[in-house]
Amino acid sequence: MFDIGFSELVIISLIALIAIGPQRLPRIARTLGHMAGRLQRYVADVKADINREVEMEELKKMRESVEQAKSSFETSVQSEINKTESDLNAAASAAAGEEPKPAEPAKIPEKLV
């Protein structure tokens, strides 16, 4: 994140020792360490939330594509059923010597939809 070398850390430590004093420096360093830990946990939580949202978006897109495939498959099956039914009706009418009449479209039972 930050490009701080060893020499910069030594200089910062010496300035902190002079400005704060040797008695309060350990307590302040401990407090800064706790704050850095909290910051790291917060950043990790935010990253995890973002990753969860991205995964949810991907799942939603996948769900939509599956629903589109289902609907196109259903449409093609329905058209094949109608075509087969009209062919069978025409063949039955021809065998009986009647004039063929147009078939009504077949309906898919509610359980399948």
Instruction: List pLDDT tens digits, range 7-22.
Output: 988 898 889 888 888 8
- Centre a 10 Å sphere on the Cβ of residue 95 and count the other Cβ atoms it contains: 8
Listed by start position, the domains of the chain span 14-95
67-111, pLDDT tens digit by residue?
999 999 999 999 999 999 999 988 888 887 765 555 566 666 666
Indicate the SS3 state at residue 59.
helix
Is residue 47 scored above 90 in pLDDT? Answer: yes
The alpha carbon dihedral of 79, 81, 86, 87 has a sign of: positive
Q: From CA 53, how far away is CA 55, in angstroms rounded?
A: 5
- Can you give the pLDDT at residue 5? 87
